[in-house]
Structures are given as C-alpha cells and as structure tokens.
Amino acid sequence: MSLPSSVRLVEVGPRDGLQNEKQPIGVNDKIHLINQLSASGLGYIEVGSFVSPQWVPQMAGSAEVFAGIEQRDGVIYAALTPNLKGLEGAIAAGVKEIAVFAAASESFSQRNINCSIAQSIQRFVPVLELAKAQGINVRGYVSCVLGCPYEGAIAPEQVAAVARELYTLGCYEVSLGDTIGVGTPGQTRRLIETVAVDIPRDKLAGHFHDTYGQALANIYASLLEGISVFDSSIAGLGGCPYAKGATGNVATEDVLYLMNGLGIETGVKLDALIEAGAGICSVLGRETGSRVARAQQ
C-alpha cells in the first residue's frame, strides 16, 4: 500500500500529556499552551477531561481552560468524558467534540475507569445518545491494544471486538492506544489488519506512547497499513496515571518531522510547535522529550 498524501495530527498534550503531572499547572499556562498549539496549524486539540477530580486532579480545571482558550475556526477542541456526568460537564463548558475511552484489557478497565469493559460500553450508550442529540461528535479510544501493564500480551481479536463495539455505538473514529508503548511494527501491522476487518482504515487512528522508543516505527508501520490519523503530544509529555512506567506519547514535533520528510501534508508549522513545546517545558521545569526539538535547540 502506498503512503497517504496527507495526515491529520491529533494533539493530545494538554490532556494525555498533562494529566499525569503531579505539580499543579495553572489554568493560564494551559490556555497559553493550547493557543500556541492552535496557532501552529494543528486542526485537533484535546484540551482536557471531564473525569472525577479525585481520580485525575490535574484535569479538574478543564471547564476553565475551555472558557479561556481562543477557539479558531476549523480547529476541533475536544474533551474526554467517561460517563454521562462527564458529558454534562462538557456540554456546560460548550464542548463540541468528546472522546469516550474503553480498554482491551479487563484489569486496565477496572483500574482506569472502575468498571468492566462490558459495563463501560453500557455506560457509553447514553453518552453517545445525548452527544448525538446535542450535535456533538464522539471519538472512541481503545487502550492497551499492544499490551497491558497488568495482563501482558493482548490478542488483536480482543482489541478488534472492543473497537467494533465503539464504532457500532456511533464513534466516528476509533483511536488504537498503545498505552504503555510496548508494541513493535510487526505487531502493529497485525493489529491493524485484524481491526480493519470490521472498521474501515480511514476510521482508525494510531495513539502510540513511546516508552520503548518504538512509536515512530509503529507510526510508519501504520502508514503502510493505510492509517492517516495519529495522536501525539507536544514535547512528548505525559503518561497514564493508571499505567505504571508508561511515558509520554510520541512527540508531535517528531511525528511532524517524519511526515515532512516523507512529503506528507499536515498543515502544521514545525517552528511554531517547537516554540509551544519550549514554553510548556519551561513551565514544568523539564527538558523536552522531543528529539527534533532537542536537535534544533
């Protein structure tokens, strides 16, 4: 299969990147980051989540962040919502796109959202109904698609079954999450081939954490499998609070460099991304996780 001519980058840094940070990050710092990301040409930014503040304290200010950002035409500003209460919070904050998240592993589902996979799917039914009634688009995530921190290997068929449930419920796109960043390109290709039996490839996205340094290789493998939407995090920030040892998503700057080198259109400006990454890293007092940003310092 030939490479796509364009790719859509889904920026998850303000949510997946920051959710794991222990130090408090001010609402204004988050707003500034999101405005910079918008200005770089990114078309999709995951701004925050409407989850329990007891579970993920860092996301507690998401409504204030939504109220403060400058929303550009043509850019999607999305939030994670695990249940109806989350969706109601998102609606009150004027959110126009949400994401629901299920897991391919029972143990991870319990640790992350305190219910079984089947219960989570049942919870999403009214979420999707209300979202549809409000004209809100819903994206779906499946976590632990290439391995689970509690169960180890996960069968591609199990991922395919959960992805199919989300797609059938009405998620317009399903993002396949290598939550702990353990997968390698051969596994990635087999996974996509299995999931794509039931879901068209243009309705799938790749969400690779870079724990084992395999994320860019997995993205390239996904491109060869006909995937053209990728989630990434500015400066490679992040991890998941319920997946010990999981590092950040692949850095957006590094994915962009790869796409630029392959001649694949994204509409995103690398200089602007590097500046946004430098800004949030100075807030966090941390070196960037982006190899490209480091090389260009």
Q: Which stretch binds ligand HMG (CB under 6 A): 62-70, 83-91, 152-160, 189-197?
A: 83-91
Span 218-277, contacts to ligand HMG by CB under 6 A: 240, 242
Smallest distance, ligand HMG to C-beta of residue 212, A = 14
Q: Of 141 and 257, which has the nearer Cβ to Mg ion?
A: 141
Q: Residue 112 binds which entry of ligand HMG, Mg ion, none, with Cβ cut-offs from 5 to 8 Å by kind?
A: ligand HMG
Residue 210 binding Mg ion, by CB under 5 A: no
**What residues have CB less than 8 Å from 110, skipping those under 6 apart?**
116
Q: How far apart are CA 133 and CA 218, in angstroms?
A: 37
The residue from 19, 109, 233, 290 that contacts ligand HMG (CB under 6 A) is: 19
Residue 16 binding Mg ion, by CB under 5 A: yes
The runs of H, that is alpha helices, within 93-184 are: 106-113, 117-133, 156-169
Q: Of 80 and 90, which has the nearer Cβ to Mg ion?
A: 80
Give the containing element (helix H, strand E) for 179: none
Burial class (CB in 10 A: 0-12, 13-18, 19+), 284: middle
Q: Which residue out of 144, 148, 240, 281 is catalytically annotated?
A: 240
The residue from 50, 66, 77, 257 that contacts ligand HMG (CB under 6 A) is: 50
Which residues, listed in sequence order, are joined to residue 148 by a DSSP beta bridge?
A: 152
Q: Is 281 a catalytic residue?
A: no
The answer to whether residues 67 and 93 touch, using CB atoms and an 8 Å cutoff, is yes
Which residues, listed in sequence order, are joined to residue 10 by a DSSP beta bridge?
A: 44, 231
Catalytic residue list: 240
Name the residues that contact Mg ion, by CB under 5 A: 16
